[in-house]
């Protein structure tokens, strides 16, 4: 498996045809403001520009990218700008769902390994439910008329010792992991498509600016 086969995950490539007669100097001059941002270092050699970003500001229009190369080449139809950009943010959003899915599967396996409740534990739970039903019986009218306070209703989530009965019951539920996996998967798909279009539109607009 070649690196080119998988690097599309966090690499964005594209090309734009320059206006007729537009020189490399003019094109890079129009794009220069994009690389004159905090945390951005860029170098230009003839028809090639390379840049790197570190601790870039959120308002940077290219903040999602960590580096890249812009190259202008002469084609049959005129000069063409080729760009190759990399983004660790996209890579993270791609790997995060896989990590959360792994956590979810591990949670399912751990839950399957746990011992089922014993007969004594089941009997104790049934007894607690019966006590709860008794405690919820309506208050005696005479006591109510005399102004006696209503007995405190037991918390259904707690046992007679005040401990949370549900504590630990859902610790092996993979739902949360699956939810986070879905969120990051959506972020990646939307980000991968959106950033590709945004950067292309951004370059086109800058190249066309008077």
pLDDT tens, per residue, the chain with 210 residues: 456 678 899 999 999 999 998 999 999 999 999 999 999 999 999 899 999 999 998 899 999 999 999 999 987 778 999 999 999 999 999 999 999 999 998 988 888 787 666 666 667 777 777 766 665 556 666 656 666 666 565 555 555 555 555 555 556 788 899 999 999 999 999 999 999 999 999 999 999 876
User: Distance (Å, rounded) from C-alpha 102 to C-alpha 142?
Assistant: 60
Of 66, 94, 72, 70, nearest to 8 by C-alpha is 94
> Any idea what DSSP says for residue 174?
-
Q: Are 188 and 90 in contact (CB under 8 A)?
A: yes
Q: Looking at residue 210, what is its pLDDT?
A: 62
pLDDT, tens only, 44-67: 998 999 999 999 988 999 999 999
Q: What is the dihedral of CA 163, 167, 169, 174, to 10 degrees?
A: 170
Alpha-carbon dihedral sign for residues 175, 181, 184, 185:
negative
Q: Looking at residue 128, what is its pLDDT?
A: 73
Three-class DSSP category at 99: helix
User: Distance (Å, rounded) from C-alpha 63 to C-alpha 55?
Assistant: 9
> Any idea what DSSP says for residue 51?
E
Pairing of strands 11-17, 40-45: unpaired
**With a threshold of 0.85, does the pTM exceed it?**
no
Rg (CA), the chain: 31
User: Distance (Å, rounded) from C-alpha 68 to C-alpha 12?
Assistant: 9
Phi, psi of 3 (to 5 degrees): -65, -30
Mark out the alpha helices in 60-209 (DSSP H runs). 88-113, 119-135, 141-145, 175-208
Tokens for 210? 């008077």
């Amino acid at each position: 498996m070649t690196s080119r086969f998988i690097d599309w995950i966090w690499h964005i490539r594209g090309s734009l045809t320059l206006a007729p007669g537009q020189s490399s100097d003019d094109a890079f001059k129009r794009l220069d403001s994009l690389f004159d941002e905090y945390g951005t270092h860029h170098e230009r050699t003839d028809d090639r520009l390379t840049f790197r970003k570190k601790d870039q500001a959120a308002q940077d229009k290219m903040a999602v990218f960590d580096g890249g190369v812009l190259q202008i080449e002469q084609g049959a139809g005129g000069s063409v700008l080729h760009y190759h950009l990399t983004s660790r943010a996209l890579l993270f959003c791609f790997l995060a769902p896989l990590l959360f899915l792994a956590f979810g599967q591990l949670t399912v396996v751990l839950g399957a390994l746990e011992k089922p409740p014993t007969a004594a534990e089941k009997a104790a739970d049934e007894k607690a439910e019966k006590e709860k039903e008794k405690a919820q019986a309506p208050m005696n009218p005479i006591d109510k008329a005399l102004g006696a306070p209503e007995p405190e209703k037991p918390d259904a989530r707690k046992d007679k010792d005040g401990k949370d009965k549900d504590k630990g019951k859902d610790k092996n539920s993979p739902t949360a992991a699956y939810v986070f996996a879905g969120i990051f998967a959506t972020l990646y798909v939307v980000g991968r498509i959106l950033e590709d279009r945004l950067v292309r539109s951004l370059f086109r607009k800058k190249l066309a600016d008077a």
